[in-house]
Structure 1
Amino acid sequence: MDTMEPAAKDVNTEVERIETPLESLASICSVLAIGLFVMTFIFQNFEIPSASMVKTLLIGDHVLVDRIALAPPTKWAPFTFYRDVRRGDVIVFLKPGEPDLFLVKRAIGLPGDRIHLRNGIVYLNGVAQDEPQAGKPMADGNLQHEYNPYRDDFPSIPPEGMDVTASWQYELPSHIENGDLVVPPGRIFAMGDNRTESLDSRYWGFVPRENIVGRPMFVYWSFETPADQINKQSIGERIAFMGHILIHIFDQTRWSRTLHVIR
């Protein structure tokens, strides 16, 4: 009995070998590299800064974006699921003409589609669309949503002071046929769900297919954020808001929106 105890002790000594600092560093670096790859090429998080997608997305929603499904297919990853953009998809893309600005809108028209709006209602290929999530003029008697002829009876000639880009004012007439806007090949017509407050394809044109980076899947965190926070970009203002978040992390988090699926 006594002669077996040292042998068991020797085995335990080998099992309990201490990891060296270099091995620990290598393990940490491996985890960081995998995490960086996942968050750069597969998933990415975005914060919603404006009200253009209310009711679907609120200011202060933090969403996880799938960067794979709508990406161009690649030969090196044939096992990955890819698909093209579908009407009604909520998409994240780089704004045309501003390659550093990400926007979130809904894909309304695909190549070949004919689109027009009447009193804020979207007509797609001649059929009025039932969009319960879309804000319309004079909704609930709110005067803030009063009728606007360019915005609500699109396409039409943009009047002065409508925030329409110069390039779109020039290009727009070439895509109008019999009162409809015809979406050209390789382009997407996108609009915000909050139609009366959204600067979208009506104001700056089509989204090139290659500008689309993914689609938001769900809200992983939502914090009550002032509508004017998007305009507060100085270092002091950002630090002040970060402090506000730390103080109110529990009472101003919208817990009911956690894991809210985006449709």
Structure 2
Amino acid sequence: MEESAPVLPSSGPEAAHIVFPSPLETVRSLLSIIVIALFALTFILQPFRIPSESMERTLLVGDFLLVNKMIYGKPGWLSHLLPYRKVQRGDIIVFHFPLDPADHVVKRVVGIPGDRIRLKNGVVYRNGDPVTEPYAIYESADEDAFRDQFPAGGYTNPGIDPHWWQAMRGDVQNGELIVPANSYFVLGDNRNHSRDSRYWGFVPRANIVGRPFVIYFSLRQPSATDLPEMPQVRAAGSSDDKLGHGNAVAGKVADFARWDRMLRIVR
């Protein structure tokens, strides 16, 4: 009969040991993080902030976006290996502004190469059919025949680029604008308050930077098209000298950002 091994008395729970990294290991870790971040911001992602109201209500003034720079890729052998895709109708894109490539602009793609585009009373017609656009809004604005009857409207708006006005006539057939190869026709979702392809022309494929995919932060900032707030009527005998409560400060801190828009997917 085998003898069982003696049971040694327990020495209690083992003491937890914390090992601190050496200064060299810390520097290596920080450098690795910096290299990864620089790679991502250079080749994959890029942050942008919305400065104007032209894409309301999809994108608001003060929204901070992350743009996927890899989604469309570039022509070449990598396009067969990586999950690139073509620019599609309805995509929101960020691109270098054709009139000033140093500026970045965000708009929605309405026409791809070969499409026939026209607007009738502000409604987009593509290849002869009206386009359903639940994202488009039409805030009140002065009448503009060029904007709403494009391209049939006359040269009446001072915001039209004269070079585009002359070049555009060669791409118009039967009252429709034909989108040429390697070019895209884009509009802002806030149709009556957007300077877009109607005013300055097509977006070349080479100018496209990427597609916004998430709003990672949003500052509560006013838009130029916001309606002015109506003054509140004070009750008789009330005074403006009342002291505020402590929660007023907390309210101001909470209201400086649109917390409900954080991490919202852009569509």
Which of 244, 258, 262 is the equivalent residue of 2:262? 258
Say if 2:49 and 2:63, in contact at 8 Å, map to a contact too.
Answer: yes
Match of 1:131 in 2: 133
Secondary structure at 1:83 match in 2: coil
Match of 1:201 in 2: 197
What is the alpha-carbon distance in structure 2 between the residues aligned to residue 67 and residue 186 of structure 1? 18
Please tell me the root mean square deviation across aligned C-alpha atoms, in Å: 2.3
Quote the offset at 1:250 in angstroms. Answer: 2.7
More helix by share: 1
For residues 92-138 of structure 1, the C-alpha deviation after alignment (integer angstroms, 9 at most, x for no partner) is 111102111111100000001000000000000000111122123xx
Which of 44, 57, 60 is the equivalent residue of 1:42? 44
Match of 1:171 in 2: 167
Say if 2:120 and 2:149, in contact at 8 Å, map to a contact too.
Answer: yes
What is the alpha-carbon distance in structure 2 between the residues aligned to residue 70 and residue 146 of structure 1? 37
Secondary structure at 1:115 match in 2: strand
Q: How does 1:221-260 map to 2 (within 5 A)?
A: 221-227=217-223, 250-260=254-264
TM-score where L is the length of structure 2:
0.78
Quote the offset at 1:62 in angstroms. Answer: 0.8
Quote the offset at 1:24 in angstroms. Answer: 2.1
After TM superposition, which residue ranges in structure 1, 4 or more long, deviate above 3 angstroms?
73-79
Larger radius of gyration: 2
Match of 1:90 in 2: 92
For residues 197-252 of structure 1, the C-alpha deviation after alignment (integer angstroms, 9 at most, x for no partner) is 00000011000011111111111111111336xxxxxxxxxxxxxxxxxx955322
Match of 1:7 in 2: none
Structure 1: gaps of 5 or more residues: 1-11, 229-246
Match of 1:8 in 2: none
What is the alpha-carbon distance in structure 1 between the residues aligned to residue 52 and residue 197 of structure 2? 16
Q: How does 1:88-127 map to 2 (within 5 A)?
A: 88-127=90-129
Q: How does 1:71-90 map to 2 (within 5 A)?
A: 71-73=73-75, 75=77, 79-90=81-92
What is the count of residue pairs matched by the alignment?
A: 226
Q: How does 1:147-226 map to 2 (within 5 A)?
A: 147-156=143-152, 158-226=154-222
Is it true that 1:21 corresponds to 2:23 in the alignment? yes
Quote the offset at 1:26 in angstroms. Answer: 2.3
Percent identity reads 43
What is the alpha-carbon distance in structure 1 between the residues aligned to residue 211 and residue 108 of structure 2? 10
TM-score where L is the length of structure 1:
0.79
Secondary structure at 1:104 match in 2: strand
Structure 2: gaps of 5 or more residues: 1-15, 225-250
Say if 2:65 and 2:217, in contact at 8 Å, map to a contact too.
Answer: yes
What is the alpha-carbon distance in structure 1 between the residues aligned to residue 214 and residue 145 of structure 2? 35
Quote the offset at 1:75 in angstroms. Answer: 3.9
For residues 20-68 of structure 1, the C-alpha deviation after alignment (integer angstroms, 9 at most, x for no partner) is 4333222211110111111221111111110000111111111111111
Structure 2 CA distance for partners of 1:249 and 1:209, relative to 1, 3 Å: farther
Match of 1:66 in 2: 68
Quote the offset at 1:162 in angstroms. Answer: 2.6
